[in-house]
Amino acid sequence: MSAAWTPLRDELARWRDAGRVADFWWRDDDAGQPAPALARLTCLAQQAQVPLALAVIPQHAARDLVQAPGPWVSILQHGCDHRSRAAAGEKKTEFPAAEAVPDALARLALGMARIAGPHTVRALVPPWNRVSSPALLAQLAQAGYQGLSRFGPRGKALAVPGLVQVNTHVDIIDWHGTRGFVGLESALSATVAHLRARRTGEVDGSEPTGVLSHHAVHDAACWDFLERLFDVSRSDGAARWSAAGELFARAH
Ligand SMILES: [Zn+2]
């Protein structure tokens, strides 16, 4: 194990010394049809015994994947068709500010119907981690959603009343550069930074640290990072990986 991992081991030790469990969760986006990378992903979850929250694009969803995603895998809804409807000047989003809320809800309901299954958690992962319509956000709990997952430390445990918010914090892909692994130092420093901010109270300490992957674009270094992260977090005993079903349990 290279010395690069020492800061993470040290941070996990601080959690353990404080009598706290550093909890993580793993979200992977853009699943749909069976593919070798997807098979490798679900295999990794099983081998590492780490729960995987697979954000599936309903329009692309294979029935077999949704019905039997494999041990350790749960299904979240990744938008509906993953098509940006952003207006000129608006950041990419499937749910733009100008779209009528009933239209968006109707599309979401059709999407949820396509991915409904025994391992599906009623949580929305909006493409590009963005819902640009506050009015839509306000309606999601009434529409039957338990949870919402975007990117960055959450401001509140509930995004709106009734809607549990659990985000991701470590994106392992360098989207603006190589579109491959972001690099060991970068991925680890994002992980340690979020853990430290939680521990010191700068951000919500009860929001698990979310690792975000995109299996379809993984290079060898991405796979290597995930495997090592699971190994290190398990071997240190201070960490645990939570399943989406418990994270997004309906708020009361
Ligand atoms: Zn996506």
The verdict on residue 28 lying in a domain is yes
Average pLDDT of the residues in 146-174: 97
Which is it for the CA torsion 159, 162, 168, 169, positive or negative?
positive
How close are the terminal C-alpha atoms of the chain, in Å? Answer: 44
pLDDT in tens, 66-99: 999 999 999 999 999 999 999 999 999 999 999 9
The verdict on residue 85 lying in a domain is yes
pLDDT band with cut points at 50, 70 and 90 for residue 178: very high
Distance 128 CA to ligand 1 centre (A): 6
pLDDT in tens, 91-145: 999 999 999 999 999 999 999 999 999 999 999 999 999 999 999 999 999 999 9
d(CA 155, CA 95): 20
The verdict on residue 32 lying in a domain is yes
Distance 29 CA to ligand 1 centre (A): 5
pTM given for the model: 0.97
pLDDT band with cut points at 50, 70 and 90 for residue 252: very low
Distance 125 CA to ligand 1 centre (A): 8
Q: Domain containing 200 — which CATH number?
A: 3.20.20.370
Number of domains in the chain: 1
The verdict on residue 129 lying in a domain is yes
Distance 127 CA to ligand 1 centre (A): 5
The verdict on residue 252 lying in a domain is no
Residue type at position 63: R
Average pLDDT of the residues in 186-195: 98
Average pLDDT of the residues in 228-244: 90
Distance 18 CA to ligand 1 centre (A): 36
Q: Which domain holds residue 84?
A: 3-247
The verdict on residue 35 lying in a domain is yes
Helices (H) and strands (E) in the chain, counts: 8, 10
Residue 236 has pLDDT above 70, yes or no: no
Instruction: Provide the pLDDT for residue 235.
Output: 82
Q: Which of 161, 166, 158 is nearest to 76 (CA)?
A: 166
- For the chain, percent of residues with pLDDT exceeding 70: 98
